Structure 1
């Protein structure tokens, strides 16, 4: 059974994609799979919905188990990404177990 890690980022007031810090945080996040071997599958991108409740950026990562998630969270490349995002955004996280036996 694997774990899916979902993160939704919302820019702080005054921040948008024209800010070079936003582009730097995005680039660091896109590169995580190149540096963090625990990542089994990785998808991320900018929001395209024009709704007031929408977030600005999302990450979906799959991991073999909770231990792999822990190693990812403490990996120096991820820690650097957190520092970049912390300066410009707030976020919400959900980690849930993937049950391949009962997948719809």
Structure 2
């Protein structure tokens, strides 16, 4: 069994769009899966449809268990990315065992 970590991201409504910043942080999100040893699976994608209910991006990560999830969440590379994401994006997460 694995633990799956799913996160939805969208630009904060009160924050002006910054295409360069968004490109930079989403490229970092896309590549993070190869940089942290606890991660066993990694998918990152942009939303393809424009509907009010849709979020802008989805991240799906797989790790061995809750301990491995903590290793990922508290890894310095993840923490640095979170610090850069906070001013621009809001997000919602779900963690569950598969």
Structure 1 unaligned residues grouped into runs of 5+ = 99-104
Give the TM-score normalised by the residue count of structure 1.
Answer: 0.87
Give the Cα separation in 1 of the matches to 2:50 and 2:35.
33
Q: Secondary structure at the match of 1:61?
A: strand
Q: What number of residue pairs does the alignment pair up? A: 97
Give the Cα separation in 2 of the matches to 1:95 and 1:40.
15
Structure 2 unaligned residues grouped into runs of 5+ = none
1:96, CA displacement in angstroms? 0.5
1:42–1:59: 8 Å Cα contact kept in structure 2?
Answer: yes
RMSD: 1.2
Structure with larger Rg = 1
Q: Secondary structure at the match of 2:45?
A: strand
Give the Cα separation in 2 of the matches to 1:68 and 1:15.
35
Alignment partner of 1:90 is 2:90: yes
Give the TM-score normalised by the residue count of structure 2.
Answer: 0.92
